[in-house]
A and B are shown apart, each in its own frame.
Chain A
Amino acid sequence: MMIDWTNFTPWSSLAGGALIGLAATLFILMNGRIAGISGVIGGLLRPVNGDVLWRVSFVAGLVVAPLLFQTSFALPAVDINAGTATLIVAGLLVGVGTRYGSGCTSGHGVCGLSRRSPRSFVATTLFMASGFVTVFIVRHLFG
């Protein structure tokens, strides 16, 4: 294994992670909800009275984040290599997969692992493994 030391950002990643953990903590203690992004958004597609506004508020915070971030810091550079077709296929897989499997990186990966949930441990292991294999196939078999 070869480590990419030039792009490795242990401190900002650890600090960003701590903020994510803080947000999840805030959400469960204040609102009694799991900060699972796919679950929060997915619930908007099955609107139930009284169950919509908190979802919209959470998503609004997420959308506004870069606007607030750039008032004080430069937004980190992003490099997107996926073309439109790839983005569409990827989006569909992520949409169906996260709802069918009841969670994504935040719900299973952060909240679930923090709760020591065996279900989330299995889900996280599988989506990570699937991500590793997919990147291997795309980059090294066809790349």
Chain B
Amino acid sequence: MKLLSAFVAGLVFGLGLILSGMTDPSKVIAFLDLAGAWDPSLAFVMAGAILVASVGFHFASKRSRSILGDTMRLPTASQIDRRLVLGGLAFGAGWGLAGYCPGPAVASLASGNAEPVIFVVAMLVGMGLYELRTRLSATSR
């Protein structure tokens, strides 16, 4: 049941990404291109998502367990540190370069285009490098 609901959540998330236009890198870049012909659509994606999810998280914050009995894993970190800043800046640069963020890229894997596959493989390598670095610094301590 938990796996089914995770699958459905991923599926609905992906359908939303496709419908919203986020799986088209040119549309994403047109949103990020304030100095060019600006396409404000993605602000509407964010608005629609936040409007609905705010209600969801409002109810989630009052629960100690999920409906299926899992622990509620709401983030507790509150520090605004160097990691958050540098990570955000690096992510934004990559996002602007190709027009892909993780969700839309993964939701485009089955589209038949090679580009999202190349992007996702590179992204996994990037995530792997981060893991490697974390593990190395953990063992050297």
Contact = CB atoms under 8 A, between A and B. Distances in A.
Nearest to A60: B7
Contacts, number: 502
Main secondary structure, interface of B, reads helix
Contact of A96 (B21, B72, B100, B130): B130
Interface in B17-35: 17-27, 29-30, 32-35
A33 B5 CA distance: 11
A15 to B, nearest CB: 6
A53 B3 contact: yes
Contacts of A45: 124, 127-128, 131
Main SS class of interface, A: helix
Interface residues on A, range: 35 or more
A91 B32 contact: no
Given A90-B98, A91-B120, 11 more contacts: A17-B50, A25-B60, A26-B12, A27-B9, A61-B11, A61-B13, A76-B19, A92-B126, A100-B130, A101-B90, A106-B102
